[in-house]
Structure 1
């Protein structure tokens, strides 16, 4: 970047801080053990290839924060807010908010471009990369479509569990676990039977991962999540948790509060606390926790049938546990 113009250095600093500044690294970890499950050795080529998923995730999160108008990510200003603040501090022309949004769009796009470059330069032979690209491309396409369904549900107000599950499947479940596993396995030359087992393991586990995210988006501690309390409520997320809350609302008063408040960016902490009580009374939190355990059990049952090394089985089991039993 510096070779083009020094004014591009803030972009490099922002992406470095974003990629290296935190995150769970679950997607590269699932991809890595998807490959190692086949008996493939650890290698720099494998590390390079699975690390591309962190660039995909960075691009997705930068765009996601912009779409949701989120102020923070991992306890730091979101990328669009970072560039908005830079504009305001330097008294540049135009609207700081517009500059921040434009910068975030471009930086998110750059991360997606760099993920392509990193995969092709990973060190794997071109034939192997070509095989893995089918999964890599499908993963990136489906997460974008899932994101669109998510924002569409917010504006249409669709609170059905069926729609919430569809969004969770394509926005997160396949993208977070199933596709990374398949990506790594294909890089290592896995056979069809193992790929089928990884799908049976990864899809329910990915949905459980998203349901945990939904719970934390309402009941999480900001000190550990890095996001303000109740952010999903302010953003109007039509999650499985909220779908069950609407369906099981204790009375019309509770249902009216949900309908009136969900998606109100100005919700204060007191109203967020009231909404949490409504959700608890509806039984939605309890049902969501039960659903997480059901999905996790189904995933682990599928994993038990896989003909893989015990080291890989243990690693994938531990990853499954960290995906669904977490506080961030």
Structure 2
């Protein structure tokens, strides 16, 4: 459809294809096992459509997130806005290359958001074993998820610009951002979508919510730890990139609760500094360790994993579903990338 408008739109399609070729495919996997664990047929075509819709939405969110954060890379490659800025420079076009890159990233993110809805709609026509009522139930979860992520993204932006001025309650605000920007849409909502498509009863969907809420938050906490302490060769992002972007994570909130005056001043002056060098990264890392923030986040993460496993143990799911979801707990929380 893009090509019918003009062959000059080809870079948008190419960028979308490149972006969708990577990633963990975590959300479609949870959706699939939400379906299977509720007794759904593994050959059902509708699951492919819904999984693709989740991947398109994830890609849209990441393209916009990288632009908001000013990230240079994603998965070891230039972020989309950087990719299009480079295209502008190589073509020697008029105007500001970075502005062009930003505009193209916004448009590509919007396109993939639109495509996600279109692909989801095809689940109703492709699913021989899924009736329209079940698709509508799953679509309601999908729509709620997209709204929550937008709100969570805004809360994240607000926290980055206002967090230092309102330190009280910073930890709880950080957890709210985690829940709405990432945790619920990473695990809980995809699981509930899969279960809804399979016709799961409300008690099972409630178990999915408890499991998914706890595991999704644990997943994001691991992501926050990797964003500061991870190996860039594995994460695909520069060392300490979250610190340069000024992310007000739970790590930062916990550190500031126990920081000395000197430590707090260093966080205030260096967190969010785009020119932060390796020495600066190491200094901020030391504060996160010395204040006990890293240990506290690891403890909370372990508690959330325990909560997720307890919810799974109590859920009325198939044997293969229980085994797969238990394995996914490990994959989501013990990863290095």
Q: TM-score, normalised by structure 1?
A: 0.97
Q: Offset at 1:100?
A: 0.4
Residue aligning to 2:203: 193
The match for 1:256 among 265, 275, 279 is 265
What corresponds to 2:330 in structure 1? 321
Correspondence for 2:148:
142
Deviations along 1:60-111, one digit per CA (max 9) or x if unpaired, are 0000000000000000000000000000111111111111001000100111
Contact 2:56 2:116 (C-alpha < 8 Å) held by counterparts: yes
Query: Quick one: distance in 2 between partners of 1:36 and 1:204?
Result: 20
Mapped partners of 2:132, 2:89: distance in 1: 46
Provide Cα deviations, 1:188-220, integer angstroms capped at 9, x if missing partner.
111100010001100011111111111011101
* Cα distance in 2 for residues equivalent to 1:17 and 1:127: 35
**Structure 2: stretches of 5+ with no match in the other structure:** none
Q: Aligned-residue CA RMSD in angstroms?
A: 1.0
CA apart distance, 1:163: 0.6
1:190-229 maps to which residues of 2 (within 5 A)? Answer: 190-229=200-239
1:83-232 aligned within 5 A: 83-122=84-123, 123-124=126-127, 125-157=131-163, 158-159=166-167, 160-232=170-242
Verify the 8 A CA contact 2:30 2:187 in the aligned structure 1. yes
Q: 1:51 offset after TM fit, Å?
A: 2.0
- Is 1:6 matched with 2:7? yes
What residue number does 1:282 align with?
291
In structure 1, how many angstroms separate the alpha carbons of the residues matched to 2:135 and 2:11? 32
Q: Distance in 2 between matches of 1:162 and 1:128?
A: 35
Does 2:234 align with 1:234? no
Aligned residue for 1:156, secondary structure, equals: helix
Equivalents in 1 of 2:315, 2:150: separation in Å? 30
Indicate if the aligned counterparts of 1:145 and 1:170 stay in contact, CA closer than 8 A: yes
Contact 1:120 1:126 in 2 (8 A): no
Paired residues of 2:135 and 2:196 also in contact (CA < 8 A): no
Which of residues 302, 314, 319 is equivalent to 2:311? 302
What is the TM-score with the length of structure 2 in the denominator? 0.95
Gapped regions of structure 1 (runs ≥ 5): none
Deviations 1:165-209 (A, max 9, x none): 111110111111111110111111111000100011000111111
Q: For residues 46 and 191 of structure 2, what CA distance do their matches in structure 1 show?
A: 16
Report the Cα distance in structure 1 between the residues aligned to 2:197 and 2:112, rounded to whole angstroms.
21
How far did 1:318 drift? 0.9
